[in-house]
């Protein structure tokens, strides 16, 4: 058995004139693979809690992406797909 943890956080405000491009995620949080473990291990966060639990249970982990952008308008099509 393996576990996969991915994180995506974005509060979309449809009234905002700021379109959310990939650059907005890069400015806030955009991590891949081992970067996620390094950033969130031993933190008081949901992701940190999952990492700790899986480590204690010795369950192999897959961490493809963790992304977060500041609240802004809808995500553009290129970034979404």
Nearest to 81 by CA among 29, 33, 21: 21
Q: Work out the pLDDT band at 80, boundaries 50, 70, 90.
A: confident
* pTM exceeds 0.85 for this model: no
Q: How many domains does the chain have?
A: 1
Range of the domain at 50: 3-80
Question: What is the per-residue pLDDT across 48-75, written as a single tens digit (0 to 9) for each?
Answer: 999 999 999 999 999 999 999 999 999 9
Q: Are 48 and 9 in contact (CB under 8 A)?
A: no
d(CA 47, CA 66): 9
Q: Are 20 and 73 in contact (CB under 8 A)?
A: yes
Question: What is the per-residue pLDDT across 26-40, written as a single tens digit (0 to 9) for each?
Answer: 999 999 999 999 999
């Amino acid at each position: 058995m393996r576990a996969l943890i991915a994180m995506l956080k974005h509060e979309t405000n449809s009234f905002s004139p700021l379109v959310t491009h990939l650059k907005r995620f890069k400015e806030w949080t955009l991590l891949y693979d081992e970067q996620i473990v390094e950033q969130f291990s031993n933190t008081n966060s949901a992701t940190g809690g999952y990492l700790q639990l899986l480590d204690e249970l010795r369950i192999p982990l897959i961490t493809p992406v963790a992304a977060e952008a500041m609240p802004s308008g809808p995500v553009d099509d290129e970034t979404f797909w």
